Chains A and B, each alone.
Chain A
Amino acid sequence: MRDIAVISFAQTPMRRAVPELNEVEMLMPAIHGAMEQVDMTIDDIGFTCSGSTDYLAGVGFSFVSTLDGVGPWPPIQESHVEMDGAWALYEAWVKLQLGEIDTALIYSYAKSSPGDLPMVLTRQLDPITVAPLWADSVSLAALQARALLDAGKATEADLAEVAARSRRSALDNPNAQLAWDRPADDLLADGYHIAPLRKSDCAPITDGAAIILAAGGVARSRSIDRLDPRHRPHRADPPPRRIRDLTVSESTRTAAANAGVADGPVDGRAAAPFTTRAHPARRDRPRRRRHDPARRAMRSGASR
């Protein structure tokens, strides 16, 4: 395995809506920031990979116009995934492992504000059996939360604890949209958003972008993080609603097992849009190191 490092990271301020800029205008300052940190230009980048979802902004092929922000002419080697930044990072990581390239620019962005996000996300569901129900993302998460509570694997206090901890860590990030320090008991006094979820259990709808520069064969002194191969394998749970137990995430269990933390004490956390998917009662979540702004931000950029 080749040693891959994150050598630069930048993100835009995460905001509820960025109405004055289009996607490429929102993204460009962060790309420039990430490049300037290591004094590189697009000519120094071997591969560019972006992750976004056109449905969020409602503009078909919007990722093509955002690519203009990196200066892709004359033609560069690039790719786009209709996914989150973590998946784009994985594609770049594979290419770096293959030795085809030495440097990669990975960016992820979303303008989630132009549409009704929970409704927009219904289009990701099975188009024949589930999408016609217009079951929105928050309601589906609430279903999962209900299953989790009924199975006795978590309590509402557990979920509130996850929310309180996550928002408290957000205080460290000046770009975070929501950051506050409230005790979990206080959160439990809030009313339900979609029962049994409170607003504090849900990710805020966010416009923003995050950029990572990754490189192989870089001295440790120059890297701000290492991409540990144990964390890289990418798995997904099956999306159809009836073929799996909603209280178990087999993909995270496998990932944790591969990372060697399936049974041990876990000092990290899952990056997830709902507290149900990151609460501490489950040991089957992926390990994330506590101070890992890069990975966390790549997820929050997509704001599912």
Chain B
Amino acid sequence: MAEISLPASLQDVEPVRSVRTPAQLDYTFTAGDATTRFLNGITQKKIIGQQATPQSKVYVPPRGADPELGAATPIEVEVAQVHRHPLVLRGQRRLLRRSSGPGSAASALISSVAPTCRSCTSSRRSPPTRCGSACGSKTVAERRRRHRSHPPSIKWFRPGGEPDDPNVHIPGRTTARAWAPPWVGGVAPTEALIRLRSEGGQA
């Protein structure tokens, strides 16, 4: 850094080395039409995706535009109930029924639809890891009531660590997960398999 020669009147003044300038701005956030409809679905315990045409992709959560078509997404698709998902429905029931086992199917579905959908599994306030064990202390009716009256919070969500369920089908997708390429060999890797591979072992 170059030497700065100060005028005589400033010779003995303590130099300013840093300043702290706090700033806060308040905004009124506009969710918009598409996201408002999605959030209304969440209050009904439904994950509602949207698509622009019956053939195009379903977006969850919808943000208002389909980036492939540059078009609005007026068609609503309830993601959890289309295309006969016995596993998904079972998972949802287990979730309501104090599923305490590792790997709740509902959370697997939700994590494989889109990251932000995890909010659905995480409105329970108690901190520990996965929704299944965390939601056990409330009655079903009470949880439903809470779900209706509060927007979901993601504050206490922690990934459970279980692998995604390869059998979940997302409408409009040919791969098992929304953001990943198809599995090598068509088989979803388990956590044990990934650990084995990363340590140089053979599957």
Contact = CB atoms under 8 A, between A and B. Distances in A.
A58 B65 contact: no
A58 B26 CA distance: 8
Contacts of B63: 22, 24, 65, 68
A219 interface: no
Contact of B30 (A42, A71, A111): A111
Given A25-B32, A25-B65, A28-B65, A127 B25 contact: no
Contact of B25 (A67, A111, A123, A132): A123
B21 A58 contact: no
Contacts of A119: 25
A123 B27 CA distance: 14
Contacts of A113: 28
Interface string A66-88: 01111111000000000000000
Contacts of B72: 25, 28
B23 interface: yes
B31 interface: yes
Given A68-B66, A114-B30, A28 B71 contact: yes
A132 B33 contact: no
B67 A71 contact: yes
Contacts of B23: 123, 131
B63 to A, nearest CB: 5
Given A115-B25, A120-B25, A19 B71 contact: no
A68 B70 CA distance: 6
Contact of B19 (A23, A57, A128): A128
Interface string B62-101: 0111111111100000000000000000000000000000
- Count class of interface residues, chain A: 35 or more
Interface in A19-50: 19-25, 28, 31-32, 42
B91 to A, nearest CB: 30
Contacts of A128: 19, 21
Contact of A24 (B21, B26, B27, B64): B64
A47 B28 CA distance: 33
Contacts of B67: 67-68, 71-73
A127 B21 contact: yes
B25 A28 contact: no
Contacts of B65: 24-25, 28, 65, 68-69
Contacts of B68: 71, 73
A150 interface: no
B31 A22 contact: yes
A116 B27 CA distance: 8
Nearest to B52: A71
Q: Which of A71, A127, A132 has its CB near the most chain B CB atoms (within 10 A)?
A: A71
B15 to A, nearest CB: 14
A70 B70 contact: yes
A112 B4 CA distance: 42
Contacts of A127: 21
Interface in B33-63: 33-35, 63
A31 B64 CA distance: 14
B70 A42 contact: yes
Interface string B157-186: 000000000000000000000000000000
Interface in A79-125: 111, 113-116, 119-120, 123
Given A22-B35, A25-B34, A114 B29 contact: yes
Contacts of B34: 22, 25
Nearest to A67: B67
A222 B23 CA distance: 50
A59 B29 CA distance: 8
A20 B23 CA distance: 28
A32 B27 CA distance: 29
Contacts of B21: 127-128, 131-132
Nearest to A65: B63
A55 B184 CA distance: 44
B98 to A, nearest CB: 38
Contacts of B25: 55, 58, 115-116, 119-120, 123
Contacts of B26: 115-116
A65 B59 CA distance: 13
B19 A132 contact: yes
A267 to B, nearest CB: 39
Given A59-B29, A128-B19, 18 more contacts: A20-B30, A21-B32, A21-B33, A22-B35, A25-B34, A55-B25, A58-B27, A67-B67, A69-B65, A71-B69, A71-B71, A72-B67, A72-B70, A113-B28, A114-B30, A115-B25, A123-B25, A131-B21
